[in-house]
A = this chain, B = another copy of it.
Amino acid sequence: MSTSERVPGEARPGGRTARNRDAVCRATLLELANHGYAALTVERVAERAGVHKTTVYRRWGGVDGLIVDALQFAVDDDWQPWLGGAVEDNLLELARVALRSFTDPETGPTHTAVVAAAFQSDEAINAVHDFFADRFGRSSRIITVATERGELPAGTDPLSVIRAVMAPIYFRLFISRESVSDDDIQQAVQAALAAARAGVFVMESISGE
């Protein structure tokens, strides 16, 4: 009863099954880009993908499942942060790219939809959590490198700095619903760096010295 979980689409990876997953994910992304999260329905996705709606319900369960899978489908697995300049410049670039990914009319609605879906389904929560853990983990190299160069105090927690940079942007976008200017981004970077230089993000050496 533990290994008998049915996961449609994994037992027969070749041919039509894979093609359908591709078509459905693309259709989901297009529907999100055109009509937004609130208007996303299983039927329209199915029709656009040239697939029967029953198939979608069976394989993806519903709208939330579609969004989660579309995220994993659309994610760029090879993404890496830019490391070519000073910390400040690398963080600025990081924040600007992130903001653009939510304001760009092509990718924005999709990413926004995933954040929204996390309010309705636990799967989406996990998907979002894992996505940010992955991206922030990669982004932390910016801080690691900077620390090695002596630009930041030794022992600075990379993830804390990245979060401090990104949090105000996401906060304005999705919580307080304020507009986000480039000045705001610069301020977020400067604030995070000031805190980092002051040693606020230095990790406690728990396991001895």
Contact = CB atoms under 8 A, between A and B. Distances in A.
Contact of A132 (B163, B164, B175): B175
A191 B200 contact: yes
A118 B119 CA distance: 11
A115 B125 contact: no
A118 B190 CA distance: 29
A174 interface: yes
A127 to B, nearest CB: 9
A129 interface: yes
Interface string A177-204: 1100000000100111011011011000
A121, A132, A163: which has the most chain B beta carbons within 10 Å? A163
A195 B191 CA distance: 5
Interface residues of A, number: 39
A103 interface: no
A159 to B, nearest CB: 10
Contact of A119 (B116, B167, B195): B116
Interface SS of A by simple majority: helix
A118 B177 contact: yes
Contact of A163 (B119, B174, B176): B176
Interface in A91-149: 112, 115-116, 118-121, 125, 128-129, 132-133, 136
A195 to B, nearest CB: 4
- Top-10 shortest CB links A-B: A191-B195, A116-B119, A167-B171, A194-B198, A132-B176, A167-B167, A129-B177, A194-B195, A167-B168, A190-B200
Interface of A: 37-38, 112, 115-116, 118-121, 125, 128-129, 132-133, 136, 160, 163-164, 166-168, 170-172, 174-178, 187, 190-192, 194-195, 197-198, 200-201
